[in-house]
Amino acid sequence: MLVSNTPWRTLATVLVVAVVLDVLPSSHASAASRFTDLSAEPSQLWHSEFDASWPLGSITKAIDPADRSPHGPPSTVILGPGEYLSVGQSATSPNGWYELTLEQEGQLVLRVTDPQLGPDGTLWSTGSAQSAMPLLLMRSNGELAVYDVSDPGFLAATSDGDLAKLWSAGTRSESGAVLRLYDDGTLAVVTPQGGVLWRGGNSVPDVGLAGHRHVIYDRGEQWVWLVDADGTVVDNYPVSGHPESPEPGRYAVSSKSKDAISYNWLVTMRHMVRFTTDADGDWIGFHSIPRGWSDVPVQTEAELGDFLSLGCIRQRDDKAERLYRWAPIGTPVVVLA
């Protein structure tokens, strides 16, 4: 005679649920109390820092990339996909006030044509690369980079982007992107839809922290700058945050974790860099694009620049890792409205 084992299955299910409920936190406070190293640097542990990183859905409509349009002052396209600037060649902004030149030693320099508009006429540069045959190339995949054509690995570099590279803007995966120079002295890599992937030249806000390594987050523009103590812009890129959080002001990196989990236990993030909390006391910081338990990103890299977070600032994975390593605890963070 066959005996049904359904009751035993039901009992097993109840036991599993009970164990899970015992492991999960019953409140924010009880979960947070389990961890004692929230200020550690670096930390290999998982933290329940209650990062508000989950798509807003109907709360805030994301800006569709197709809805974006180029804005700002007039500009000229310096390089289109596959085009290049050879050593000694220059290009100017529409008003003629700014000139971009690839110099003999591989240094890409943006100058003002009237020295009174900038110190010694130099507005921005990549620094000398000591190359006999430099070439500035706008690759078809969206990467802007300076290569050493005399390097035997240059032909391979045009394929994988690693060999013979002297400098890169760190852009990628945006087919059709172009390099533009604007009438206000801003140099930018821009997608066909008008999304900005990188900025150089006269684009860094002065937040009064000369002599100090600092991070600038422009909440309205959804943009981040990493600025070294000597004023060098280490990196800058689009991010995804919230239109009203965090509040504009001056903060400092307070803690970091290589791995983190959201307050609702639905997504995970890498390279969390915390610098403030929201009104409920939940942590706000910079981190990678969140991933669900199936390891699927909750947004694409192309959507960076849109408001898609409940408070934290999402970055491309490699950018998140760079900020994590570059900004020690105590690094100033300035949030602009």
Q: Are strands 196-201 and 186-190 parallel, antiparallel or unpaired?
A: antiparallel
Q: What is the 3-state secondary structure (H, E, C) of 270-302?
A: EEEEEEEECCCCCEEEEEECCEECCCCECCCHH
Tens digits of per-residue pLDDT, 273-308? 999 998 888 899 999 999 987 889 999 998 999 999
Residue 46's pLDDT band, with cuts at 50, 70 and 90, is very low
Residue in the structure block whose two tokens are 């030693």: 105
Q: Is the pLDDT of residue 315 over 50?
A: yes
Give CA–CA dist 47/222, Å, rounded. 26
Residue 18's pLDDT band, with cuts at 50, 70 and 90, is very low
Spatial neighbors of 169 by CB under 8 A, at least 6 apart, are: 143, 144, 145, 189, 197, 198, 200
- Residue-level pLDDT at 29: 29
Beta carbons of 298 and 312 less than 8 angstroms apart: no
Longest Cα–Cα distance in the chain: 99
Of 150 and 239, the structure prediction assigns the larger pLDDT to 239
Closest by CA to 227, choosing from 247, 208, 249, is: 208
Which amino acid is residue 312, in one-letter code?
A: C
Beta carbons of 157 and 146 less than 8 angstroms apart: no
- Residue-level pLDDT at 184: 85
- Residue-level pLDDT at 194: 87
- Residue-level pLDDT at 105: 80
Tens digits of per-residue pLDDT, 64-119? 333 333 456 788 999 999 999 999 999 999 989 899 999 888 889 999 887 666 55
Tens digits of per-residue pLDDT, 23-33? 223 222 222 22
CA angle 103, 109, 110 (to 5 degrees): 140
Give CA–CA dist 306/193, Å, rounded. 13
- Which domains does the chain possess? 30-68+195-337 (2.40.440.10), 74-192 (2.90.10.10)
- Residue-level pLDDT at 14: 30
- Residue-level pLDDT at 128: 75
- Residue-level pLDDT at 247: 94
Q: What is the 3-state secondary structure (H, E, C) of the chain?
A: CCCCCHHHHHHHHHHHHHHHHHHCCCCHHHHHCCCCCCCCCCCCCCCEEEECCCCCCCCCCCCCHHHCCCCCCCEEEEECCCCEEECCCEEECCCCCEEEEECCCCCEEEEECCHHHCHHHEEEECCCCCCCCEEEEECCCCCEEEEECCCCCHHHHHHHCCCCEEEECCCCCCCCCEEEEECCCEEEEECCCCCEEEEEECCCCCCCCCCCCEEEEECCCCEEEEECCCCCEEEEEECECCCCCCCCEEEECCEEEEEEEECCCCEEEEEEEEEEECCCCCEEEEEECCEECCCCECCCHHHECECCCCCCEEECHHHHHHHHHHCCCCCEEEEEC
Which amino acid is residue 119, in one-letter code?
A: P
Residues of the chain above pLDDT 90, percent: 44
Q: Is the pLDDT of residue 15 over 50?
A: no
pTM recorded for the entire structure: 0.70
Dihedral over Cα of 127, 131, 133, 137: its sign: negative
Give CA–CA dist 74/84, Å, rounded. 22
Give CA–CA dist 118/116, Å, rounded. 6
Residues of the chain above pLDDT 70, percent: 75
